[in-house]
C-alpha cells in the first residue's frame, strides 16, 4: 500500500466513536438530519423514482431498505436510490476549499452499509465524521474541478474507506477498499457544465454506490493495486496532482468547516439570496433598471455561464445566479416550487434576468475560499444606485445554522410528504442516535 492509502486506512481505523469530540457528534447529527430532510423532499422526483425502480429489481442476502417505500434491496442499490433522493434538490451541505463538494452525499451509503451489518448509531456517527475528514483533506489538497474531474471520485474513496470500517474491516481492508475506488471511479466534470440533466443529481450517488461495492469486495478479500494513489499512472499523476493530505489529529475538523444551505440552490448563490431577501424590503423589482454583480471566479464559471441565462430544467435553474436572483426579487423566496415549469417561464423573472450582468472581480477571486465576496449594484429607474456587499451566507461556519434552524428546515421539507407523527419521530431518533441501531434509524424512514 502506498503512502496516501496507508494514511487513509490508519486514520479511518482509529476514528471510533469513543474519541470523537462532543461538537463533532452534535454536528454529525445536525448534518444527518439536514440530509434526511433533503432525501424526504426529493423522494417523489423523477430521478429518485427511476432509481427506486432499479432498486426494486434487486434482492440481496444483505437486505438494505430504500427510504420511503421500505423495499429491501442490496446495499449498493439502496445507497444509489437514497442518495439520488438526497441530491435532487441540491439542498444538502457543501465543503468549500480548493475543491468543492457535498460531504453528506456519503450519508445514505453509510446508512445502507450500517443497516446491512447491523451497526450501532454510534458507529454510524464515527463513519460519517471519518468520511467528512477524508473529503476535507482531499478538497484542501487538490483542485480537481479546474482539472476537469468531478467530485464523485472523492465521494467514492471516502465511502469505500468509511464503509469498510463500519462493516468491521481493519486497516488492510480499509486501504484496499479506498484504493479500489481510487483506480475505478474517475468521473469527468461534464456532468456539471452547460444545460444540466437529471444525472447532475445522480453522479455522486453512482460514486457512493461504487464505494460500497469496493468496500464489499475488500471485506471479501479482494486486493487493490498497491500504489493506487501515489504510484505510476496513479490518482496523483493522472487526476489530482501531488497529494499531501492533512488529516486532523482529532477527528471532526472537516464537519466543523462544512456549510449548510439555507436555500435550495447551488452553494455559491446562497449569499446573494440572503442579501436580496433583506434588500427586497427596500426595493421593488419593478423599480430596477439594471443589476451589476461583481464576484469571484467560481460564481462566474459555475452559475453564470451562458447556458445559465436561459434555464429550461430544474437542474439548470438551481445553478443559475440570474434566475435565482431575479426569482428572489420578484417572488420574495426561492423554494422547491420555484423550479416548476411555469415558474421557469415566468416573463417577469425573465425580463429582470435580462437586466442582470455578472463579472469577475480579481480581488474577490483572490480572497476565495476564505471569504465569499459578492457585490451588488442596483440601478433604479429613479436614478438611485444602491450597493451592497455580502460575504458569509447563512449556514457558513462563520454564520452557522443552529440546531433550531436545521429543525425548521427539516420540518418545512418533510411536512408535504410525511404525517406529523413520523415527521416528529425522525428528529427524535437522530437526536438519540448513540442509543439506537442503524436499523432503528431506517425504521423511522420507511412507511
The strand pairing partners of 188, in sequence order, are: 149
The overall longest dimension of the chain from CA atoms, in Å, is 73
Angle between helices 107-116 and 75-87 (to 10 degrees): 150
- Grid coordinates in use for 56? 426494486
pLDDT digits (tens, 9 = 90+) for 250-276: 999 999 999 999 999 999 999 999 999
* Residue 239: per-residue pLDDT: 96
Reply yes or no on whether the pLDDT at 447 is more than 80: no
- Grid coordinates in use for 351? 425580463
pLDDT digits (tens, 9 = 90+) for 273-283: 999 999 998 99
Grid look-up 476549499 returns: 97
Q: Taking a C-beta distance cutoff of 8 angstroms, is the pair 68, 108 a contact? A: no
Cα dist from 429 to 260, 314, 315, 422, 441, whole Å = 21, 32, 32, 10, 6
pLDDT digits (tens, 9 = 90+) for 155-202: 999 999 999 999 999 999 999 999 999 999 899 999 988 888 999 999
Helix (H, G, I), strand (E, B) or coil at 323: helix
DSSP string over 264-283? SS-GGGHHHHHHHHHHTTT-
* Residue 195: per-residue pLDDT: 86
CA 371 to chain centre: 20
Question: What is d(CA 280, CA 285) in angstroms, rounded to the nearest whole number?
Answer: 8
Whether pTM > 0.85 for this model: the answer is: yes
Pairing verdict, β 385-390 and 356-360: unpaired
- Grid coordinates in use for 409? 428546515
* Residue 281: per-residue pLDDT: 87
Helix (H, G, I), strand (E, B) or coil at 141: helix
Q: To the nearest whole percent, how much of the chain has pLDDT over 70?
A: 100
* Residue 245: per-residue pLDDT: 97
Query: Which helix or strand (DSSP H or E) is residue 6 part of?
Result: helix 3-14
Strand order in the sheet with 374-380: 356-360, 288-295, 374-380, 385-390
CA 315 to chain centre: 14
* Residue 411: per-residue pLDDT: 97
Question: What is d(CA 346, CA 325) in angstroms, rounded to the nearest whole number?
Answer: 13
pLDDT digits (tens, 9 = 90+) for 401-419: 999 999 999 999 999 999 9
* Residue 422: per-residue pLDDT: 86
pLDDT digits (tens, 9 = 90+) for 50-106: 999 999 999 999 999 999 999 999 999 999 999 999 999 999 999 999 999 999 999
Mean pLDDT, residues 193-212: 94
Task: Name the nearest CA neighbour of 21 among 260, 254, 259.
Answer: 254
Task: Name the nearest CA neighbour of 175 among 213, 226, 128.
Answer: 226
If DSSP states are collapsed to H, E and C, what string results for 362-387? Answer: HHHHHHCCCCCCEEEEEEECCCCEEE
Residues 6+ apart with CB under 8 A from 307: 194, 195, 316
- When the pLDDT of each residue in the chain is averaged and rounded to a whole number, the result is 97
- Is the Cα dihedral 147, 358, 369, 332 positive or negative? negative
The answer, yes or no, to whether the previous bond of 369 is cis (omega within 30 of 0) is: yes
Residues 6+ apart with CB under 8 A from 341: none
pLDDT tier for residue 131 given thresholds of 50, 70 and 90: very high
- Grid coordinates in use for 215? 468496500
Structural domains in the chain?
3-262+403-445 (1.10.4100.10), 267-390 (3.30.1330.120)
Cα dist from 72 to 61, 83, 135, whole Å = 10, 16, 29
Q: To the nearest whole percent, how much of the chain has pLDDT over 90?
A: 96
CA angle 215, 221, 223 (to 5 degrees): 80
Among the residues of 93-239, which ranges form H helices? 107-116, 121-141, 152-166, 171-184, 203-219, 235
Reply yes or no on whether the pLDDT at 37 is more than 90: yes
Q: Taking a C-beta distance cutoff of 8 angstroms, is the pair 339, 333 a contact? A: no
Long-range contacts at 403-407 (CB < 8 A, ≥ 24 apart): 403/26, 403/30, 405/260, 405/262, 406/30, 406/33, 406/34, 406/37, 406/260, 407/33
- The CA radius of gyration of the chain, in Å to the nearest whole number, is 21
* Residue 277: per-residue pLDDT: 96
Pairing verdict, β 356-360 and 288-295: parallel
How many of the other CB atoms lie within 10 Å of CB of 436? 18
Task: Name the nearest CA neighbour of 70 among 30, 109, 43.
Answer: 43
- Grid coordinates in use for 373? 465576496
Amino acid at each position: 500500500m502506498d503512502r496516501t492509502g496507508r494514511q487513509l486506512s490508519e486514520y479511518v481505523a482509529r476514528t471510533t466513536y469513543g474519541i470523537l469530540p462532543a461538537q463533532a457528534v452534535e454536528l454529525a447529527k445536525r448534518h444527518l438530519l439536514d440530509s434526511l430532510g433533503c432525501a424526504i423532499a426529493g423522494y417523489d422526483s423523477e430521478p429518485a423514482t427511476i432509481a427506486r425502480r432499479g432498486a426494486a429489481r434487486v434482492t440481496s442476502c444483505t437486505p438494505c431498505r430504500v427510504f420511503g417505500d421500505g423495499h429491501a434491496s442490496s446495499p449498493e442499490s439502496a445507497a444509489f436510490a437514497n442518495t439520488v433522493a438526497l441530491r435532487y434538490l441540491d439542498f444538502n451541505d457543501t465543503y468549500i476549499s480548493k475543491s468543492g463538494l457535498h460531504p453528506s452525499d456519503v450519508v445514505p451509503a453509510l446508512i445502507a452499509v450500517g443497516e446491512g451489518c447491523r451497526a450501532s448509531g454510534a458507529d454510524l456517527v464515527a463513519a460519517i465524521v471519518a468520511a467528512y475528514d477524508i473529503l476535507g483533506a482531499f478538497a484542501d489538497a487538490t483542485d480537481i474541478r479546474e482539472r476537469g474531474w468531478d467530485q464523485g471520485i472523492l465521494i467514492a474513496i471516502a465511502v469505500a474507506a468509511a464503509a469498510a470500517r463500519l462493516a468491521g474491516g481493519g486497516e488492510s481492508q480499509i486501504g484496499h477498499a479506498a484504493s479500489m475506488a481510487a483506480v475505478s471511479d474517475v468521473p469527468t466534470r461534464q456532468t456539471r457544465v452547460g444545460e444540466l440533466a437529471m444525472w447532475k443529481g445522480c453522479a455522486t450517488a453512482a460514486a457512493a454506490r461504487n464505494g460500497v461495492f469496493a468496500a464489499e469486495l475488500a471485506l471479501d478479500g479482494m486486493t487493490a493495486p498497491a500504489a493506487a494513489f501515489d504510484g505510476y499512472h496513479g490518482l496523483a499523476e493522472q487526476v489530482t496532482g501531488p497529494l499531501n493530505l492533512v488529516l486532523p489529529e482529532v477527528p471532526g475538523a472537516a464537519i466543523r468547516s462544512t456549510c449548510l444551505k439555507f436555500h435550495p440552490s447551488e452553494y455559491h448563490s446562497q449569499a446573494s439570496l440572503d442579501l436580496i431577501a433583506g434588500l427586497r424590503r427596500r426595493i421593488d423589482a419593478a423599480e430596477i433598471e439594471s443589476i451589476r454583480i461583481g464576484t469571484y471566479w467560481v460564481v462566474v464559471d459555475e452559475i453564470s455561464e451562458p447556458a445559465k441565462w436561459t434555464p429550461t430544467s430544474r437542474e439548470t435553474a438551481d445553478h443559475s445566479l440570474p434566475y435565482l436572483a431575479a426569482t428572489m426579487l420578484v417572488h420574495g423566496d426561492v423554494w422547491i416550487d420555484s423550479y416548476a415549469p411555469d415558474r421557469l417561464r415566468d416573463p417577469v423573472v425573465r425580463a429582470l434576468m435580462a437586466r442582470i450582468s455578472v463579472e469577475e472581480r480579481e480581488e474577490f477571486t483572490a480572497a476565495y475560499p476564505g471569504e465569499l465576496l459578492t457585490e451588488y449594484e442596483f440601478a433604479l429607474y429613479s436614478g438611485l444606485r444602491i450597493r451592497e456587499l455580502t460575504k458569509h451566507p447563512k449556514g457558513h461556519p462563520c454564520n452557522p445554522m443552529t440546531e433550531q434552524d436545521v429543525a425548521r428546515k427539516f420540518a418545512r421539507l418533510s411536512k408535504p410528504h410525511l404525517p406529523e407523527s413520523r415527521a416528529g419521530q425522525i428528529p427524535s431518533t437522530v437526536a438519540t442516535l448513540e442509543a439506537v441501531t442503524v436499523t432503528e434509524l431506517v425504521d423511522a424512514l420507511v412507511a
